[in-house]
């Protein structure tokens, strides 16, 4: 078990979502400190902390901030990504509910560091309740001059706007998010140009996940030196692990990066109901490659360790499946999700996701054949890397990994004595009687 047990993002403090309580526990001190620093010093501190994005791609946050032009004739924007739609992910919601001011404080510090004039927080439409909680917190912060035209009398000003999505997984992809905020359909954009050059409304923009931003006040309060000693050095800090599926105590758990996956499942989440064995684990949200139950021993939950075993930390959303799980059924459901959520711009994703779902449903219906297994892999391989955004990859990875790791499941389900495919008769040869 891990030695560092302090909860930095979701501490057990009752009513922390209220501004008074938050202030009493040191809230907005990091903002005061930041306002006494030069913007470049803040970016340097965040770089030194090694903070990496919690939205899925693990991009170094300080580096991302440094891409923003220092001088700009156009306004600069920060988009906080609260779309949270990756199946198995339910952590940002916890920040909105329990510690919204930590996120707001981080966002204002980020805005100051990058010279941002408006912070747009994009939240999925279904989160009506959490949008209301955050709006209340934002209003309170405005009233105490933590947000506004002249923050804490420093002369620096930034606005804070919450935008409600309306049901589309793709709007979590950063460029689709910007288009959605512009009132358009959520179509991802071709990159380059990158958002730091041409982003929201064509202006320099940085997009960060909610949890990423919530780490910023902690780094400023305690210092980068202190922060990067927590957890895995290359991806330090605590992580909000969301664990769901076949465990006794599903939920969000905050622990340092790099804890053992088995500790998370057995010690914190209470193990598998009925003491059953584990058949498979999805380590970081539905887009990440699966692990077989036999593989999870010794696996650590951080970017590098998971990469070493062929998968990724993703959003930290762990999904556990017990020995009785029909993995093909689960995979078919995932394939359905990506097919449904593909925005339709790129042919490989729009068509390929549908084909993958169809082939998988064929197996569920008992109509799959041995050659369908290779066909499925072929379709997945031809989606991967051939689309504007990573939704195509996200759809391909689970399929590829399940074929590789559970091929026997496909084989067992494939037709035992596959009838040779019916020869296709060209239309002009069709006779009046069937052979």
Partner 1 sequence: MLSKENFEKLERLKSQYPTTKSLSLPVLWMIQEQHGWISPESMQYVADLLQLPVSHVYGVVTFYTMFNTKPVGKYHLQVCTNVSCLLRGGEELLDHICKRLHVKRGEITLDQRFTVTEVECLGSCGTAPMLQANDEYYENLSTEKVERLLDEWSKG
Ligand X SMILES: Cc1cc2nc3c(=O)[nH]c(=O)nc-3n(C[C@H](O)[C@H](O)[C@H](O)COP(=O)(O)O)c2cc1C
Interface residue with partner 1 among 46, 168, 301, 396 (CB under 8 A) is 168
- Cβ neighbours of residue 423 under 8 Å, at least 6 residues apart? none
Distance of CA 167 to the CA centre of its chain: 16
Binding flags for partner 1, 333-372, as an x/- string (CB under 8 A): xx--x--xx-x-----------------------------
Restricting to residues 373-412, name those near partner 1 by CB under 8 A.
none
- Cβ neighbours of residue 272 under 8 Å, at least 6 residues apart? 246, 247, 248, 265, 278, 320, 322
- Rank residues 59 and 142 by Cβ distance to ligand X and give the closer one: 59
Binding flags for partner 1, 32-61, as an x/- string (CB under 8 A): ------------------------------
Interface residue with partner 1 among 184, 225, 378, 411 (CB under 8 A) is 184
Count the neighbouring beta carbons within 10 Å of the beta carbon of residue 241: 25
Q: Which stretch binds partner 1 (CB under 8 A): 249-257, 361-369, 406-414, 423-431?
A: 249-257
Q: Which stretch binds partner 1 (CB under 8 A): 53-61, 206-214, 247-255, 385-393?
A: 247-255
User: What is the rounded CA–CA span in Å between residue 103 and residue 82?
Assistant: 11
User: What is the rounded CA–CA span in Å between residue 107 and residue 208?
Assistant: 9
User: What is the rounded CA–CA span in Å between residue 386 and residue 365?
Assistant: 30
The reply to whether 186 sits near partner 1 by the rule CB under 8 A is: yes
CA distances 26 to 7, 33, 45, 102, 105, Å, are 15, 12, 20, 10, 11
Interface residue with partner 1 among 6, 11, 69, 128 (CB under 8 A) is 128
Query: In which element (H, E) is residue 48 found?
Result: helix 39-49
Q: Binds 209, which of partner 1, ligand X, none (CB < 5 to 8 A, cut-off by type)?
A: ligand X
Q: Which stretch binds partner 1 (CB under 8 A): 61-69, 294-302, 323-331, 424-432?
A: 323-331
Q: φ and ψ at 8, to 5 degrees?
A: -90, -35
- Cβ neighbours of residue 435 under 8 Å, at least 6 residues apart? none
Q: Which residues bind partner 1 (CB under 8 A)?
A: 75, 84-90, 93, 118, 124-129, 159, 161, 163-169, 180-186, 201, 242-246, 250-252, 282, 286, 317, 319, 321, 325, 329-330, 333-334, 337, 340-341, 343
């Amino acid at each position: 078990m891990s030695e560092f047990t302090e909860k930095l993002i979701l501490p057990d403090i009752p009513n922390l979502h209220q501004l008074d309580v938050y202030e009493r526990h040191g809230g907005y001190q990091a903002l005061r400190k930041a306002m006494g620093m030069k913007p470049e010093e803040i970016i340097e501190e965040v770089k030194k902390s090694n903070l990496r994005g919690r939205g899925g791609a693990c991009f170094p946050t300080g580096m991302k901030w440094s891409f923003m032009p220092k001088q700009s004739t156009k306004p600069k924007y920060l988009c906080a990504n609260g779309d949270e739609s990756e199946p198995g992910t339910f952590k940002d919601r916890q920040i909105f509910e329990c510690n919204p001011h930590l996120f707001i404080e981080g966002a204002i510090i980020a805005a100051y560091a990058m010279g941002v004039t408006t912070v747009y927080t994009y939240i999925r439409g279904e989160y009506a309740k959490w949008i209301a909680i955050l709006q209340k917190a934002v209003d309170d912060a405005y009233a105490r001059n933590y947000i506004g035209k002249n923050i804490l009398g420093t002369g620096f000003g930034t606005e804070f706007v919450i935008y409600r999505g309306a049901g589309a997984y793709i709007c979590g992809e950063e460029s689709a998010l910007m288009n959605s905020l512009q009132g358009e359909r959520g179509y991802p954009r071709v990159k380059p140009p990158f958002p730091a050059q041409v982003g929201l409304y064509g202006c320099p923009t940085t997009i960060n996940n909610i949890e990423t931003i919530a780490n910023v006040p902690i780094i400023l309060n305690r210092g980068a030196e202190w922060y990067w000693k927590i957890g895995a050095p290359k991806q330090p800090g605590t992580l909000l692990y969301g664990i769901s599926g076949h465990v006794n105590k599903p939920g969000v758990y905050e622990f340092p990066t790099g804890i053992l996956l088995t500790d998370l499942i057995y010690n914190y989440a209470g193990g598998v109901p009925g003491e059953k064995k584990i058949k498979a684990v999805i380590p970081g949200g539905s887009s990440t490659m699966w692990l077989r139950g036999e593989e999870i021993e010794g696996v650590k939950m951080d970017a590098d360790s998971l990469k070493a075993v062929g998968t990724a930390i993703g959003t930290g959303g762990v999904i556990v499946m017990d020995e009785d799980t029909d993995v093909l059924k689960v995979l078919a459901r995932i394939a359905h999700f990506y097919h449904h959520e593909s925005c339709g711009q790129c042919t490989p994703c729009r068509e390929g996701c549908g084909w993958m779902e169809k082939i998988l449903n064929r197996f569920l219906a008992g109509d799959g054949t041995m050659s369908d297994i290779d066909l499925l892999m072929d379709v997945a391989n031809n989606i991967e890397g051939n689309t504007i955004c990573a939704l195509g990859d996200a759809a391909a990875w689970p399929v590829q990994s399940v074929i590789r790791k559970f091929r026997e499941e496909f084989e067992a389900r494939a037709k035992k004595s596959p009838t040779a495919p019916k020869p296709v008769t060209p239309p002009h040869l069709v006779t009046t009687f069937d052979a």
